[in-house]
Amino acid sequence: MNEGKILLVEDNPDDAALTMRALKSHNIKNEVVVARDGAEALDYLFGTGGKPVAAEPPAVVLLDLKLPKLTGLEVLQRIRANEGTRLLPVVILTSSDEERDVIDGYRLGANSYVRKPVDFVEFTEAAKQLGLYWLLMNRAPPLRGRP
């Protein structure tokens, strides 16, 4: 299993807690770093806002779209524009089912688009499947040239 961290970009504390609980309940023990808005996510990835850049890039980014300060699509655009994070796996995990969001997410380089199920059991199953695929089955590209 990939031992890397998961960067969860989620402004709703209940959804963040539910995601972390779902991952842990399925024995996905990777550390989860939570960014509560788009600017905080970029601070973590690029060392902006006076914060140091993360020593290692996350194994995967779980990115909500409806965020304060910077939207998820703006965060995705910045991730893909940077040579050091261009290949970082990014999964949009959002409640939005709007076709425009799906199209824009993939156009900007999302690796996957997952709509958050409303039902708790379905949500935990979705989190389990995301964790198993992105941390166990997927072989991520090496990330070099980080800022």
Q: What is the pLDDT of residues 6-35, one digit of tens each?
A: 999 999 998 899 888 888 888 888 899 999
Q: Which residue ranges in the chain fall short of pLDDT 50?
A: 146-147
pTM, to two decimals: 0.90
Is the CB of residue 130 less than 8 Å from the CB of residue 96? Answer: no
Say whether 121 sits in a helix, a strand or coil. helix
Q: Which pLDDT belongs to residue 146?
A: 46
Token pair, residue 30, equals 């990777």
Tell me which residue has tokens 């550390």. 31
